[in-house]
Every structure is written in structure tokens, then in C-alpha cells.
């Protein structure tokens, strides 16, 4: 039997990049995957089609995670259709890159609304559904995975709102892990390094991305599938003793690798 056979999983921001890979990996492990997206309708449909073609089960759920009522309705719909929610992965994010003192405040607030508040709304709605099931007599708990970033503690310039959001997610997840332990709901963090996703093309050319990747300790950018495998590992019932933990999958980018080159600073 697959590790996550017959479990019901929600992945936010699952139409592309890391979210897409997570949805595919959870489905491969046996879960039904509720694919959340706000835009990129065609790509979301492609993810669902890929899951079904491989023999898996998926459903599409369009909702803006920055809207709390939309997130509440999303989780309620999943529970109504599938009977429960076992896994939730808060992956959706937004980011603009510019100095904070010149930042377009609409973009700044949108980053906080999606990346921080969207994750909180998902965590809250998923937790409430899992707690209600347990209070109704079902002994099963649940697993919630928060996709954070090393920029929670290593700030990247021109991304203050993103850095702030990810730092908040770390404390959010750890606090939730304490408060939800009595309900056997595990909450864990994944910290991806620099991952090769469509979103990176918003800031740099293909040549710039690949050239920068070659300078990293592992000599390349990470792949979304590598993050997805970490999510499956964390959600696996055999990882039951793991809660409030942080899994770093970054190819060594947070190590002081530039010091070993004698420069004292990153290139």
C-alpha cells in the first residue's frame, strides 16, 4: 500500500512550480489531491489531468488564499465532498522585489496577504476541520506542512515583505505545532533553497538563472520534485514523531560557502 493511500490532501498554489510538484507527489503516494489555484487555470487543469492519467485522484479548487472567507469555503467544500481533510500544504506565495523604501505598497501588502495571511488562513481552516473530526470521535489526527524559506532567517535584499512573511510562518508553524499536539495534528516546516520554478523567470533571464545556479555549493538550482519528496516524507504516517520540525532542502545555500572561496562575501 502507498504511504498516503486514501488520504485527502489540500495543496495551495498548486498550478505550477513547487506546488505542482507537491500535488503530483502526494497523488503518487496515494492521496486524493485538492488542487488550489487562483490564476493559471490551464496549468491547474494540466496538473489534475496528469494525476488522473497516472491513476490518481484530484479535484480543482479555485480560490484566493488572501481571502479568509474563500479559504474557509474551500476547506468546507473539500470536507463536504470527501468527508474529511488529512493533509494541508500551505504553499501559495507572492513576491515583488524592490527596496522597501521605494516599494509599491500594493505589491508589499499583496505579498503579506498571500504569503503570510494566506498560509495562516489555510492553517486555521484545515486545523478546525481536523479538530472537528477528532472531537466527533475519529481518532485520526492530521498533517500540515508549511512551505517557508531560508529567507525567514537569511534576508535577501529587495524582498522585505517576503522575508517578513516567511519569518512569520516559522513562528506560526511552531506555535501551531504546540497548540495542535493534543489533537494529534502534526505541523512541520519545509525550507526550500533556490528552486528552478517559473516564478524565478519573473526576476531574471534563463541565462542569469543558470549561471547563478552554477555558483551555488551544489552547482545547480534545486528541482521542485526534490521539495515534493520532502513533503511526502513529512506527511508519511511513519514520520509520526515529527512535529514542529524544519526540513531544510537547499543544496547548501545557507552554508557560509563563499568563505571557503576566500572572498569573504557571496559572489
Q: Is residue 162 among the annotated active site residues?
A: yes
* Full pLDDT tens readout for the chain, 267 residues: 689 999 999 999 999 999 999 999 999 999 999 999 999 999 999 999 999 999 999 999 999 999 999 999 999 999 999 999 999 999 999 998 999 999 999 999 999 999 999 999 999 999 999 999 999 999 999 999 999 999 999 999 999 999 999 999 999 999 999 999 999 999 999 999 999 998 777 777 788 888 888 999 999 999 999 999 999 999 999 999 999 999 999 999 999 865 566 544 444
Predicted model pTM = 0.95
Q: Which of 37, 121, 153, 162 is catalytic?
A: 162
What's the pLDDT at 20? 98
User: What CA dihedral angle connects 261, 264, 266 and 267, to 10 degrees?
Assistant: -60
Local structure of 90: helix, strand or coil: strand
Q: Name the CATH topology of 8-252.
A: Rossmann fold (3.40.50)
**Domain boundaries along the sequence of the chain:** 8-252
Strands across the sheet containing 87-90: 57-62, 32-37, 8-11, 87-90, 142-147, 185-192, 246-249
Amino acid at each position: 500500500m502507498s504511504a498516503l493511500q486514501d488520504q485527502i490532501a489540500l495543496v495551495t498554489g498548486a498550478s505550477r512550480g513547487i506546488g505542482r510538484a507537491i500535488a503530483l507527489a502526494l497523488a503518487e503516494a496515494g492521496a486524493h489531491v485538492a488542487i488550489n489555484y487562483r490564476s493559471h487555470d490551464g496549468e491547474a487543469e494540466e496538473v489534475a489531468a496528469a494525476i488522473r492519467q497516472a491513476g490518481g485522484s484530484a479535484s480543482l479548487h479555485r480560490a484566493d488564499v488572501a481571502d479568509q472567507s474563500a479559504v474557509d469555503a474551500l476547506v468546507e467544500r473539500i470536507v463536504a465532498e470527501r468527508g474529511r481533510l488529512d493533509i494541508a500544504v500551505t504553499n501559495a506565495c507572492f513576491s515583488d522585489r524592490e527596496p522597501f523604501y521605494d516599494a509599491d505598497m500594493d505589491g508589499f501588502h499583496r505579498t503579506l496577504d498571500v504569503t503570510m495571511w494566506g498560509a495562516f488562513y489555510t492553517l486555521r481552516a484545515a486545523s478546525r476541520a481536523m479538530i472537528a473530526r477528532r472531537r466527533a470521535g475519529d481518532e485520526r489526527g492530521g498533517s500540515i506542512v508549511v512551505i517557508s524559506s531560508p529567507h525567514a532567517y537569511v534576508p535577501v535584499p529587495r524582498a522585505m515583505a517576503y522575508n517578513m512573511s516567511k519569518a512569520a510562518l516559522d513562528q506560526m508553524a511552531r506555535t501551531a505545532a504546540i497548540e495542535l499536539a493534543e489533537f494529534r495534528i502534526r505541523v512541520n516546516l519545509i525550507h526550500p533553497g533556490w528552486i528552478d520554478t517559473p516564478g524565478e523567470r519573473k526576476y531574471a533571464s534563463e541565462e542569469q538563472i543558470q549561471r547563478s545556479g552554477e555558483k551555488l555549493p551544489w552547482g545547480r538550482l534545486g528541482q521542485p520534485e526534490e521539495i515534493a519528496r520532502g513533503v511526502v516524507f513529512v506527511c508519511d504516517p511513519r514520520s509520526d514523531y515529527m512535529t514542529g520540525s524544519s526540513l531544510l532542502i537547499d543544496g547548501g545555500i545557507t552554508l557560509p560557502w563563499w568563505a571557503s572561496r576566500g572572498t569573504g562575501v557571496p559572489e
